[in-house]
Amino acid sequence: MTATTSDEGAAVPVTIRDVARASGVHISTVSRTFSAPHLVNPETRVRVLACAEDLGYRPNRAARALITGRTHNIGLIIADIANPFFPPLIKAAESQARHRDYHVFVADTNEDPTAEEELVHALAKQVDGVLLCSPRMSNSLIEQLSREVPLVVVNRQVTGLPCVLMDVGQGARSAIEHLVGLGHRSIALLGGPRSSWTNREMRRAAGAAARAGGAQLTVLGPNAPTEVGGSAVAEQVRRSGVSAVLAYNDLMAIGLIEGLDALGVRVPQEVSVVGVDDITLSRLTRPKLTTVATPTGAAGRTAVDMLLQQDIESPRGARGSGAGTALGVRRTTAQVMLQTDLVIRDSTGPGPYARPARPLAAPRGPDPHCPAGPGIPTAATGDAVAS
């Protein structure tokens, strides 16, 4: 009869001390049995393990963290869990973390910069590092927070901090070239949140690509990066008279298509629409969405790797004179840029300046209006990855 575990209800929390008492050894031996098994006699070890099992002992991770300075948790701060862009990233990060014996805690900020900051503070001491995904707060605040807890930023470039980026610039360029190749010369860009790095990148790249292709780009926004954000601008898109739209986001693209549909504007017959992300949903709506696929899974994995690598090379343990949770010297500050891919489906079609479908034996002569800038490398158009 040691620490009685009453079988019904209310279990008394069993600590390392109970196990020590039960197995007749010192608590340090029990501790070592779990954290440094090779240091304890095999016989003792099995006895201790048996007692622990018997009592249902589980090490208190909070107490352990207090002294080691390592929680074996990582935090994942997400702008909006409801955006289907994120779950694949979350799952990839989780699986990668699990392989390294880490747990992931996800927190949602509702696109609110204040919530972001508060969450970083709240997580700081309970995790070994934080992945900041598509943050909405300022770069300077991010830098400041990075002094409190190791940070890896996803979808945002912050100098001096490790970042995982997706090449949406390249993606936007491909999309514009695709549209230009289809004969569109008047294109709208549906902007996302103002504080989004992705948004700025797309704008820059799309502008340049349009200029190079002899097309005119109208920027509409900023808008909420959701379906309603997209459907809300449908009227504006129609009035603007463009024949094609590149949306910040698949969700917005889908919302826009809905909105246009409600206005009696057909996609892609009257307006072509391209999204970004290639969320699962984009394959399920009609028309299926042409979109720029982003490597979300790879981003999650990479981000976790970078965070853990950074943790490992820094001093572990908060013992001694102090520099606590893995801060300090020489942090990896690598910035990784991942490729994106244009996936052509059914929401894009020939525009007003389109050349005839079959280059040879064309029924109608080539469109005289087409000023098709000479050297545009019109990326794969007809025969691409179409679903």
Partner DNA sequence: CGTGACGCTGCAAAGGTTTGCAATGAAGTA
Partner DNA sequence: TACTTCATTGCAAACCTTTGCAGCGTCACG
* 383 near DNA, rule: CB under 7 A: no
- Taking the complex as a whole, the smallest distance from the CB of residue 185 to a copy of itself amounts, in Å, to 30
* 314 near DNA, rule: CB under 7 A: no
Q: Among DNA, a copy of itself, none, what binds residue 41 when CB lies within 5 to 8 Å by partner kind?
A: DNA
Q: Among a copy of itself, DNA, none, what binds residue 16 when CB lies within 5 to 8 Å by partner kind?
A: DNA
By beta-carbon proximity to DNA, the closer residue of 322 and 363 is 322
My answer on whether omega of the bond before 356 falls inside 30° of 0, hence cis, is no
* 354 near a copy of itself, rule: CB under 8 A: no
Maximum alpha-carbon separation in the chain: 97
- Exactly one of 54, 258, 313, 346 binds a copy of itself (CB under 8 A); that residue is 258
* 71 near a copy of itself, rule: CB under 8 A: yes
By beta-carbon proximity to a copy of itself, the closer residue of 214 and 315 is 315
* 94 near a copy of itself, rule: CB under 8 A: yes
- Taking the complex as a whole, the smallest distance from the CB of residue 343 to a copy of itself amounts, in Å, to 17
* 73 near a copy of itself, rule: CB under 8 A: yes
Q: Is the dihedral of CA 142, 200, 196, 278 positive or negative?
A: negative
Residues from 7 through 36 that contact a copy of itself (CB under 8 A): 9-13
* 10 near DNA, rule: CB under 7 A: no
* 66 near a copy of itself, rule: CB under 8 A: yes
* 65 near a copy of itself, rule: CB under 8 A: yes
* 67 near DNA, rule: CB under 7 A: yes
- Exactly one of 2, 35, 110, 280 binds DNA (CB under 7 A); that residue is 35
Residues from 137 through 166 that contact a copy of itself (CB under 8 A): 147-148
* 91 near a copy of itself, rule: CB under 8 A: yes
Residues that bind a copy of itself (CB under 8 A): 9-13, 56, 58, 60-63, 65-66, 71, 73, 81-82, 84, 87-88, 90-91, 94, 103-108, 110, 119, 121-126, 147-148, 227, 254, 258, 280-281, 284-286, 318, 322-325, 327-329, 331
Binding site for DNA (CB under 7 A): 13, 15-17, 24-29, 31-32, 34-36, 39-45, 57-60, 63-64, 66-68, 317-320, 322, 324
